[in-house]
Amino acid sequence: MLRGKLLKIAVGLAIGLSTVSASAQEIVVGGKGFTEQLIMAEMTAQLLKANGLKPDKRVGMGSAVVRQALESGQVDLYWEYTGTALSVYHKVQEPLGAKEGYEKIRQLDAEKGLIWLEPSKVNNTYAIGMLQPTSKELGIESISDLAQAYNSGKELTIGVNAEFAKRADGLPGVEKAYGFQVPLDSIKKMDFGLSYQALQEKQVAAAMVTSTDGRIIAFDLKVLEDDKNFFPTYLLTPVVRKSVLDAHPKLAEILNQLSGKLDSNTILKLNAAVDVEKKSVEEVAVEFLRSQNLI
């Protein structure tokens, strides 16, 4: 009877260990809530699955939330932007070029056990957009022109999301750098994706956009020139917890391969396939990975 009990205990322990082992093989892929991030998270999950790993995709988070989840170990990896990490998470205000910015954030985050892999050539920087006819009518070609319009008393409503409205690399920083201030009643806060629709329907005169969004072409938008080079470079890069890389040595090579296939024009087309052509995120992700012989 004692041997039988010992056997049951041994079997129970084996099952428990195998469950822990299986769970440990899961890699939690995080992502923010806009199209580009949804595509990247889906492509990453598909790529990991094709390479024998077990992805657990969790998307729809804000920047601060997904970053905190990465630091706390609730998320194992996600694709972040160098400019966001420098200015928002580390409060770096000094202007840095693309290479310098990448090296700086790589160094800062290594101290936190977070590894920045090879950056893609996607620079998804913030920008301010207007409808082409509105831009021509008002004679606004640059952010300096926009600043002059506000300073001369023109009433122009600008659409921004909650993050852009308060981030140092968002509207407050733009106002400081260009020497103007948007009246509070001229700031219309909305979810990021709705800003394009608001422009198209002329609910706002200007709006926050991102440089790789496919709707810039589809809606015939004018991206105002950042003539003072305020917005930093935002290179899209996979960031992984060091402990996860140690447990899965081939993970870096897998993600670096995907990173090497991406540039701003490519991601703009992928974003447009979802937002303009109305394809599903899953369909767009799989089509791209297959076209690049990654799966």
The CATH number assigned to the domain with range 126-223 reads: 3.40.190.120
Instruction: Quick: pLDDT tens for 188-225.
Output: 999 877 999 999 999 999 999 988 998 898 899 999 99
Q: Confirm whether 2-123+234-291 and 126-223 share one CATH topology.
A: yes
Q: How far is CA 286 from the centre of its chain?
A: 19
> How is residue 213 written in tokens?
């969004």
Instruction: Quick: pLDDT tens for 114-171.
Output: 999 999 999 999 899 999 999 999 999 999 999 999 999 999 999 999 989 998 879 9
pLDDT band at 94 (very low <50, low <70, confident <90, very high): confident
26-32 sheet: strands from edge to edge: 54-61, 26-32, 77-81, 236-241, 114-116
Residue 53: count of CB within 10 angstroms of its CB: 17
Domain limits, the chain = 2-123+234-291, 126-223
C-alpha distances (whole Å) from 249 to each of 23, 237, 246 are: 17, 18, 6
Query: Quick one: pLDDT at residue 19?
Result: 36
Query: Quick one: pLDDT at residue 87?
Result: 87
Closest of 75, 221, 186 to residue 210, by C-alpha: 221
pLDDT band at 15 (very low <50, low <70, confident <90, very high): very low
Residue 108: count of CB within 10 angstroms of its CB: 16
Pick the CATH number of 2-123+234-291 from 1.10.3720.10, 3.40.190.10, 3.20.10.10, 3.40.50.300: 3.40.190.10
